Chain A
């Protein structure tokens, strides 16, 4: 058995799976159920000045028969009284002392407010704080949430206020509603945050009801921009995570990865790109807390298969494999190969290549089954056919280097090598 226990800024948890600050962590009842199910930690739903929420609050994007591929919410921070939240946090800490308890915070925009809130929260015995600089809806209209995270200087100021009083580790949560997460991440690290977490939700309109013409979610005939999350945002989150993991300054603090993580595989990918642990929300909201069982087991088996004993053995392992485009090897060349024994003659590779790519697949008409084969001399090795093929390992990409030596675009230009002639 591999050791999947996690140590994030000294905050220990039996596994690296935390529930993100969101509806699943907004009260004792949920959090107890989560810990009973096996979650390693929670980030308690954001505390601040008590708010009032609306109904409805969520909407989703379904894709090709799959529900909730993307998820959207217009819920604000905790709408429960602060003292009840604080009491419940204490009670949960007592029942589950081995789990991580982080409290998400969004105080009003003053040093005093932040100090006052942090003092109260630290009194509960919680293990860490997460600063919500990312909430993209509602709170931003009040100059909070993403409004802070979108301006590196405001973020720097707030982090400095927080660090003046914080006695427990501070994680700053970044908003993706910026052209780059690095400036705010950098400002936060320079201001002393102990860690970063990302991403928060992405501003969105998930869709419009074609009968009522009202965008989703519908609140009495009106809607508002919401925060998008779920599997659909994972690639965007991974990219943003990578930029933080690559930056010389921001990479020095631990990162908690968030954004569409539904399975142990998703979690491993975030960790390979530099996340020390991960936070989950949408997948739990879709399936319940029980998903953590397979997350732990799957991670464990994968680590065993790969010979990793601890999480640190692979955290950040894929970061060096991301480089600039101009450093990629132009001499590397692959061409597609169709395994005729596996081919089911659906023609998806053909029509994708013929209509939208490089006309590199030959079609030999048959009734009812056509035969498809690769025109190797035309194939640019784009992967499209392999991606659309419904049969595992039917289309493989075979290496046919154009030259033995590594050759990048800069060298290519310097040597005056010829471009395509058609």
Chain B
């Protein structure tokens, strides 16, 4: 047993990480699906989208071959509509609400249609938005993730000059660094960021970490307002013995490496245990398998009924051959010569519902032991509590507290996205960015942002 890289050939890596939801090949194919859309009024799909994309309208626009209009409709509500079309868990959002589900028919492939229009816009670099003349106002945004970029785009449209401070060397945040490569490629993420920036008025300063290279005070002094879209980043520790052993990694850095180093460079074990059952756990497990791990076992302390990931995600893991052990809580990791070789889990039963409404797992006293050479922890991420607290920003366990306008307790400092909600979908962060921009515009006494159709 060993943890190694270069397990597969280039062709094998490419095949394993190929697009899981291939796009429509051409207009004719997209039209077959677009024409199925009923064009619902006050559509359930639209109401189930956190950014309220006018889904029936953009699909109708595909049927009239008004692809520019279709892309504009999407981007007006969600400037990361291209990325979201790849990574959104649509089964619990727009597609899950499609009225065809009520007919026991396949829902409209909304995401795939959205990808059709947005891919065209991004690859042709269609200039669908025009900046208003500069107002002279300057806003600093920390974090070039979905929240920050969404906020930046709305602000720039309204004539605000935006500077984004990003700790990584690329924009996109978790879209770029935290999602399975078979859903969205790093190169697409770059194109998407470039497309967002093409409106002008937004400058990104890379490799700038808040609290290290820059301080909030400096930003407050140098800009008219500050927006924090710093996300969450710290992997939650299991707090069990053996976590320090070689071969125990957290899912965030595992996925980060896959996305930043290239598939062949990333080491993976023969027998891998993944702890957790959220979206990140699935992304880690499936990608460990696709990197060449012989056996991947997902361990979760509750049951399928309580799992945070969707059934669609679970199915991806199952189809990839990942084993699932329900009702097993990690208790101890043991090793030999400082390398992990076993994961010990307590067998659980479900007790009474807890504060989240989910039934709490209780130990039965029995244990199971898995022979492993790698353990990937995906037990959630924690907010940057110290950073937030050090800047005297009101927070709850590190999650920034904001008002309805996205404002923090510090005047002129706004926040949104994962750093506020603790970690939700990309599409939620995009909406938070829009909300924050609206709050900032109001704070700066610029007229309400009105995103109008130009076509």
Give chain A's interface residues, CB within 8 Å of chain B: 64-65, 344-348, 350-351, 363, 365, 367-370, 390-391
Contact = CB atoms under 8 A, between A and B. Distances in A.
A368 B45 CA distance: 8
B41 A344 contact: no
Contacts of A391: 103
A65 B48 contact: no
Contacts of B369: none
Given A64-B35, A65-B35, A351-B41, A367 B99 contact: no
- Which of B48, B97, B99 gathers the greatest number of chain A CB atoms within 10 Å? B99
14 contacts: A65-B63, A344-B99, A345-B44, A346-B38, A346-B40, A346-B41, A348-B38, A350-B41, A365-B42, A367-B47, A368-B45, A369-B97, A369-B99, A391-B103
A347 B42 contact: yes
Contacts of B103: 344, 391
A348 B47 contact: no
Contacts of B126: none
A368 B52 CA distance: 12
A367 B42 CA distance: 10
A368 B92 CA distance: 12
Nearest to A210: B65
Given A368-B48, A369-B44, A345 B102 contact: yes
B41 A390 contact: no
Point out which of B31, B40, B100 has the most chain A C-beta atoms below 10 A from its C-beta. Answer: B40
B43 A347 contact: yes
Interface of B: 31-32, 34-35, 38-45, 47-48, 63, 97, 99-100, 102-103
Contacts of B100: 344
Interface on chain A toward B: helix, strand, loop, or mixed SS? loop
A371 to B, nearest CB: 11
B95 to A, nearest CB: 12
A337 B151 CA distance: 47
A368 to B, nearest CB: 4
A367 B63 CA distance: 27
Given A347-B43, A368-B48, A369-B44, A390 B97 contact: no
B48 A348 contact: no
Nearest to B35: A65
Contacts of B38: 346, 348, 390
Given A346-B99, A367-B47, A391-B103, A65 B40 contact: no
Given A345-B102, A346-B99, A65 B44 contact: no
A65 B99 contact: no
A64 B99 contact: no
Nearest to A355: B41
Contacts of B43: 346-347
Nearest to A64: B35
Contacts of B97: 368-369
A361 to B, nearest CB: 10
A16 to B, nearest CB: 34
Contacts of B39: 348
A345 B99 contact: yes
A64 B38 CA distance: 11
Contacts of B48: 368
Contacts of B45: 368
A317 B43 CA distance: 44
A347 B35 contact: no
Contacts of B40: 345-348
B65 to A, nearest CB: 9
B64 to A, nearest CB: 10
A348 B39 CA distance: 8
Contacts of A64: 35, 63
A370 B40 CA distance: 11
Contacts of A363: 42
A345 B97 CA distance: 10
A365 B41 CA distance: 12
A344 B41 CA distance: 12
Given A344-B99, A368-B97, A369-B44, 17 more contacts: A64-B35, A64-B63, A65-B31, A65-B32, A65-B34, A344-B100, A345-B44, A346-B38, A346-B99, A347-B43, A348-B39, A351-B41, A363-B42, A365-B42, A367-B47, A368-B47, A368-B48
